[in-house]
Structures are given as structure tokens and as C-alpha cells.
Structure 1
Amino acid sequence: MLAAVILAAPGTAAAADWYFKPSKNHQPATTEPEYKALLKKYDGIYIGDITKKEVYFTFDNGYEAGYTAKILDTLKKEHVPAAFFITGHYIKDQPGLVRRMVREGHIIGNHSWGHPDLSRISDEKYKMELEKLRQAYTELTGKRSMPYLRPPRGTFSERSMKLAQEQGYISVFWSAAYKDWLRDQPRGADYAYMQIMKRMHPGAILLLHTVSSDNAEALPRVIHDLKKMGYHFRSLDDLTAKKQLPAVFW
């Protein structure tokens, strides 16, 4: 991934772009010590238990490009749980798919209403972005709980992470991902497979985008081969249910 970009504007708190440092030979990814410290302080996560061959699938859904149903078909067939982080546009445009995600046991996470940089907006605007999406989710599904937040673009600051915690959210970043959101640059299922597999490691929280046809095509093979390698697929709820996280998380 690209190196971290530290942002600072007059009168605003410093913000950062999330990134991870991939390791070779399926060793766990790492990130900056100061990022780990903020995650620990504000109950955020980016990786699971690195002593276990467990994987956490997460998808960002800003808009629909026609591939999410195929991804859901694969997850259902393979009995793999996932978390889908949705926006206001997505829940308005694709209520049927959101209902299906819930019906099939997946987690719906908050990706904000309008996808702004949460580290640069006012406290009031920040709270509105999350609450408006949560209310729409409750109205659609009848479920009130929406405990997970993925900051749009991966940008964050100590203030934004503190606000997330105060609003009852667990900030979810990632330890495995690749540049898969550019729809005008398809590279094929083999390319997606290789990019995902070379970043895989025990405890990986994998970020994928549902707008990628490459991901939709590669996913069955990814899941099949991870199973052959001894990996198990877990839900974010399984991870956060552990009351005390091992020190290796940080």
C-alpha cells in the first residue's frame, strides 16, 4: 500500500490515511506504532489473532455496479460470513441487496451517509453522517444495532476515532487489500486472485470492493484455496466478542 500521508490544515487536528505494511510469505501485516496506539486507545481493529489461520472478509459498498449478488451467492454457497460497509446512497439505491445481506447473516457496517472525510468535518456533521445512515438501516431492516464503522477513504484522526467510540462504534480498518476500486482498469480474475492471496496471513481483515468484477470472479477460487490451506472464515463479531485481545494485536 502507499505510505501514510499525514494531513494537517490550519485550525484542524492532524489526520492520516490508513495503511498497512504487507509482509512476505504470509506473515502478518503491520502498521505504524502510533496507529496501533490509537486503535488500542479507542477500541479500533485492523487485524485478528495472528496465531490462528482465520480470515475476516469485509466489503465496502459505496454504490452498486452489478456484482454484489454474485458475491453473495458465493458467500452463501461456501458458508462464509462477511461484513458489508454501506453508504446512504447504497441503502437508498439497493434496499433489496441490503435486506439480503441481513437475511443471510452478514454484518452491515456504517460507511457514513455521504462518504466524507470524517477527520475533517465538524463534530455535529460527523454525528449526523453516522446517525442518518443508522436510522435508515433501522427503518429498512428493523435492526437497531450497527456497531462497526469503516471511515471513508481510510482517513482518520484521534478526534474522529474518539467520536466513533463515543457514538458506540468500533472502527474497522484492514491488514490486507489491493487497488481494486478502479472499474475502468479491470485486470481479470487471475490478477485479483494473486493480489488477494499474496497478502493473506493469519488473522487477516481483508478489504475488498464490490464494484470489482475481478473480485466477484476470483472469490470462489480464493475461498476454495484458503480452505485447502487450512484457513477458517470468521465474523467480526467473533473477533470483538473476545473480551481481551492478545498483545500481538497491538
Structure 2
Amino acid sequence: MKKVSWLIVFLFVVLAVCIAVYAGKNQPSSQNAKEKVYPQAKVITPNNKKPVNQTKTEAKQEPTKQEPTKQEPNKADTLISEPTTNVTESSEVLENLSNEKRGWGLKRNKLHATPEVPVAIQQTLKKYDAYYLGNPSRKEIYLTFDEGYENGYTPKILDILRENNVTAAFFVTGHYLKSQPELVKRMVKEGHIVGNHSMNHPCFPDLTAEQIKEELEQVENEFNRLTGKNMIYLRSPKGEYSERTLAQTKALGYYNIFWSLAMKDWVPMPGGPDEAYQTVMDNLHHGAVVLLHAVSQDNTEALDRLIKDIKGQGYTFKTLDELIAGK
């Protein structure tokens, strides 16, 4: 009987041990108790567009702080967006300026005195780097020509300037530039200044800021293509301007050049070359910026005598570069 009892106890112990071992094998580990692993997923990053393997778990994790990736700006976006912003800002500034149209013109006095210009206008010109006069205390003169179209006299004018060792400035329109490229190249080759007189000779105050820019850029781009040089001097068509146009053209890199001595020489003068000569000599003054039209036969025939007699009175011919430098 005792043997049977011990056998029953032994079998019970063996059964208990087996149950314990079996239960131990199926108990989850501490790590697995905390996290439940899901299959890997592919994530596309916005910067490199390449797939990255990432494991997602139910366990709460602190997010990793990353510095934002610095990206190079898109060149195409830069070319489009930046000028648009600049044009908008420029337009807003220009809108606050007066666009009252003014026509430049000074009354001649035959007293060899500097023409009178209201102080307010002088201040406006100075503010926007516009010139009409050199130093009024010096016997200096600045010779300029407007070139809207070629009337056959510019070659002779260039000959006279070369023979008298005088440097002048020629303000050309788009039509002149395209129709007379060889003459323009000769002007540059012989040391003269070539300035911008606009593409189509419009009234600037009647144009938008963008239209003015286009008028000037068409001429300067063609001039640069033809000569490899840039333009920095401007003569507003017909001498018409406003504070707005002065501000804009200055912002575009131009010095506006008006004049202190001119005459109605784009048409034949009643007195011919003698009248052209006498008008200039009667109104000559210190620091004079003289405007002549190269289409005039009268001017051309009077030019050699004018230069010689002006020099004979002790005047020195200066360039626009010297004008803005104050030399």
C-alpha cells in the first residue's frame, strides 16, 4: 500500500515539473512585452526622393530633432520671382512721385549769362542726377547732338570735330542705331560719347515705368551688341519729363542730360548757316551745354567756324564725363 502511495506522489511531482517547464517556454520576454513589432514600411523623404526603411513600433519614442535641410533656390524661380518683386516695389515708389509733364526749354538772353531756372526745378534735377549746365564760373562748353535720323550731315560733322580735336556727345534713337551702325561705330572709335535718346522717341511721362524701361533697354542692348559698350547718358525725347521719369531713369543707371543753349534747328533756319552761327555766339555762356540737331545743314556748315571762334574766346570744350565728375 505504501509503495502505491509513493508512486502516486512521484507521478504527481513529475506532472507538475512538466507543466512548469511548458509554461516557461511560452512566457513572452520583457522586451516583447513592451513592444509589438510591425512589418517595415518605406518612407519617401521630401528632399532626396529616395526610399528609407523605417520600423514602426507601438512603444512611445521621443521624436528626433533635426535641422531643416538647406536647399539651393531653383534658378528658374529666382529669375522670375525676384524681378517681379523689384518691379512691384519700384512701381509703388514711383506712384508716389509727381508725374506732372514738363517741357524743358530755357529763354535765351543774349547777355552771355546763365539762363534762369527756378530753384525748385534745380533742386529736382540735382536730386535725380540730371544736368543742364556745367560750372557757371568757368569758360567751358559741352557740345551735344541729337540724332533721330540721318540726313546726310553726320559724316561731315564727325570730320569737323576730328579736325578741331573736339569730343562731343551724340544721343541716338533706335531707328538711328539700326539704320546707321557704321556711323555709330565711327562715333565710338573717334572717342565720342553715344547716349540714349529712346527707341521710338515717345513722351516719357505718358508711358508706364515698364514701357520706359523697354524704350531704353532696346537701344542700350543694340548699342552694346554693336560696340560692346554701355550707355549711361540719356536725353529725354523732346525734353519732356516729370519727377517720376527722372527718378526711374536714374534708378536704371542714367544721367539725364538737358541743355542750356538750343535753337529751332531741326528745320531750315531763315537766315541759314549765319543765323545758326550767330544764335550760338550771341547766347554763349560759361558752362554751356549746347544742343544741336545733326539733321541741320545750317548747323553743319556753321560748325567749323563756331568751334574755332568759341575757342578764340577762351572757351574749352569738355566732355559729359567731365561734367558729371565736376572737372
Q: TM-score, normalised by structure 1?
A: 0.89
**In structure 1, which of residues 189, 201, 225 is the aligned counterpart of residue 309 of structure 2?**
225
**In structure 2, which of residues 249, 265, 279 is the aligned counterpart of residue 195 of structure 1?**
279
Q: Which aligned pairs between 1:13-92 and structure 2 lie closer than 5 A?
A: 13-92=99-178
CA distance in structure 1 between the partners assigned to 2:303 and 2:161 by the alignment = 9
Aligned: 1:118 with 2:192? no
1:33 deviation in Å?
A: 2.5
CA distance in structure 2 between the partners assigned to 1:85 and 1:132 by the alignment = 14
Give the counterpart letter for 2:153 in structure 1: Y
Displacement over 3 Å in runs of 4+: none
Taking every aligned residue pair, what percent have the same amino acid on both sides?
A: 49
Aligned: 1:129 with 2:212? no
Which residue of structure 2 lines up, in the alignment, with residue 176 of structure 1?
Answer: 261
Bigger proportion of residues as helix: 2
Give the counterpart letter for 2:167 in structure 1: P
Give the counterpart letter for 1:65 in structure 2: N
Structure of higher RCO (CA pairs closer than 8 Å, 6+ residues apart): 1
CA distance in structure 2 between the partners assigned to 1:239 and 1:45 by the alignment = 8
Aligned with 1:176: secondary structure? Answer: coil
* Residue deviations 1:145-181 (CA, integer Å, cap 9, x gap): 2110000000000000000110000000000011101
Give the counterpart letter for 1:156 in structure 2: Y
In the alignment of these two chains, the number of paired residues is 230
Which residue of structure 1 lines up, in the alignment, with residue 238 of structure 2?
Answer: 153
1:186 deviation in Å?
A: 5.6
Give the counterpart letter for 2:197 in structure 1: H
| Maintained 8 Å contact 2:109/2:283 | yes
Q: Unmatched 5+ residue regions in structure 1?
A: 1-11, 244-250
Q: Unmatched 5+ residue regions in structure 2?
A: 1-97
CA distance in structure 1 between the partners assigned to 2:183 and 2:283 by the alignment = 28
| Maintained 8 Å contact 2:277/2:306 | yes
CA distance in structure 1 between the partners assigned to 2:113 and 2:208 by the alignment = 39
| Maintained 8 Å contact 1:21/1:31 | no
CA distance in structure 1 between the partners assigned to 2:179 and 2:199 by the alignment = 13
1:122 deviation in Å?
A: 0.6
Q: Which aligned pairs between 1:232-247 and structure 2 lie closer than 5 A?
A: 232-242=316-326
CA distance in structure 2 between the partners assigned to 1:13 and 1:233 by the alignment = 35
CA distance in structure 2 between the partners assigned to 1:142 and 1:86 by the alignment = 16
Which of the two has higher C-alpha Rg? 2
Aligned with 1:119: secondary structure? Answer: helix
CA distance in structure 2 between the partners assigned to 1:119 and 1:199 by the alignment = 30
